[in-house]
Amino acid sequence: MKKILALLMAATMMLCFAGCGKKDVKLKIINEELGAEYYGIAFRKGDEETCKYIDAAVQELVKNGEYKKIADKKDYKDIVGNLMFLAEDYKAKEYDVDITNAEKRTFTIGIDPEYPPFSYMGDDGKYTGFDIDVCQAACDLLGWEMKVFTVDWDSKLLQLDAKECDCIWSGMTIMDSMKEQDYVISEPYYYNTQVLVVKEGKGIKSSKDLKDKVVAVQKGTSGASLLDDDLKSLKKTFKEVKTFKSFLVCFTELESGGVDAVFVDYPVAKSYVAKKNK
């Protein structure tokens, strides 16, 4: 059953990336950063040990150059500049765990399967992406077997609590609410911003031009939280904010005319717009 669902999801993504909606529709990213944030990995409450081992393994990948090799892959070129561990002044941290003597186990990474270039399904029907590649490399160092579990992004923490996965590692924004609920959070590894994507030729040059327009956002994302909090005043200028299960549905709505803009993470916007306009 899982294999059938995976193949269906792959087909859906290929159709969307090939150009959902009208073929002549071209999209653009508004050059306006509407929220600064950091990506990290979330572990269950009280699971500091697993977090330490993963953090230590990732730092070893940084030190031995494997992290950069992964980041230098063609599919990840748009995110390299914002990877914090590759900054010129970054110094790899040390942890008080021995990654060469970790107890053998199966480690299940929880991902959003529609979140390129961090986590998505490749043309071969297998899950791939920067976060998955780094996780696999870290598990190889630890001697762990890695498994992939696809989460419902809006319910990801509930699924983590239910032990359906051991972490959420999928371009996940570190939010204060997670810390307040005592989830264990890894070292931040990516600097991200929120942006708006619109159709070309609609005269929309900034968020101000979306007054009385309809904007789409993915459920359970930091973008949705921002519109309810720090960007509440901006949200009030919109005619409506529609939430959808995935960013792919958001973009499909934009291309078909159901919404006027999509509020989304920059790397996802960059990846989708490049494929669509190509």
Q: Are both 100 and 182 inside the same structural domain?
A: yes
pLDDT at 195: 96
Considering the domain architecture, whether residues 184 and 83 belong to the same structural domain is answered as yes
Higher pLDDT: 235 or 31? It is 235
Indicate the residue among 133, 162, 191 that finishes a domain: 191
Residues 71 and 204 both lie in one domain: no
Do 21 and 51 lie in a common domain? no
Q: How far is CA 82 from CA 15, 86, 214, 267, 271, in A?
A: 29, 8, 30, 10, 15
Mean pLDDT of the chain: 91
Output the 3-class SS for the chain: CHHHHHHHHHHHHHHHHHHCCCCCCCEEECCCCCCEEEEEEEECCCCHHHHHHHHHHHHHHHHHCHHHHHHCCHHHCCCHHHEHHHCCCCCCCCCCCCHHHCCCCEEEEEECCEECCCEEECCCCCEECHHHHHHHHHHHHHCCEEEEEECCHHHHHHHHHCCCCCEEEEEEECCHHHHHCCCEECCCCEEEEEEEEEECCCCCCCHHHHCCCEEEEECCCHHHHHHHCCCHHHHHHCCEEEEECCHHHHHHHHHHCCCCEEEEEHHHHHHHHHHHHC
Q: Does residue 150 sit in the same domain as residue 237? A: no
Instruction: Specify the pLDDT at position 23.
Output: 59
Overall average pLDDT of the 40-59 stretch:
98
Domain count, the chain: 2
Q: Residue 11's pLDDT is what?
A: 45
Task: Give the CA radius of gyration of the chain.
Answer: 19
d(CA 141, CA 127): 20
Which of 144, 166, 191 terminates a domain? The answer is 191
Q: Do residues 49 and 177 both lie within one domain?
A: yes
Residue where a domain stops, chosen among 144, 161, 191: 191
State which residues form the domain around 259.
Answer: 2-36+192-277
pTM listed for this prediction = 0.84
pLDDT tens, position by position, 124-147: 999 999 999 999 999 999 999 999
- pLDDT surpasses 50 at 151: yes
Query: Is 236 found in the same domain as 112?
Result: no
CATH number assigned to the domain comprising residue 70: 3.40.190.10
Contacts with 250 (C-beta within 8 Å, 6 or more apart), sequence order = 216, 217, 218, 244, 259, 262, 264
Q: Are residues 46 and 139 in the same domain?
A: yes
What percentage of residues in the chain have a pLDDT greater than 90?
85
8 and 109 belong to one structural domain: no
Confidence of residue 16 (pLDDT cuts 50, 70, 90): very low
Separation between Cα atoms, residue 74 and residue 143, nearest integer Å: 27
Whether 75 and 162 map to the same domain: the answer is yes
26 with 144, same domain?
A: no
Question: Is residue 270 located within the same domain as residue 170?
Answer: no
- Bridge-based pairing of strands 240-244 and 119-121 is unpaired
For 203: left if phi > 0, alpha if psi spans -120 to 50, otherwise beta; the answer is left
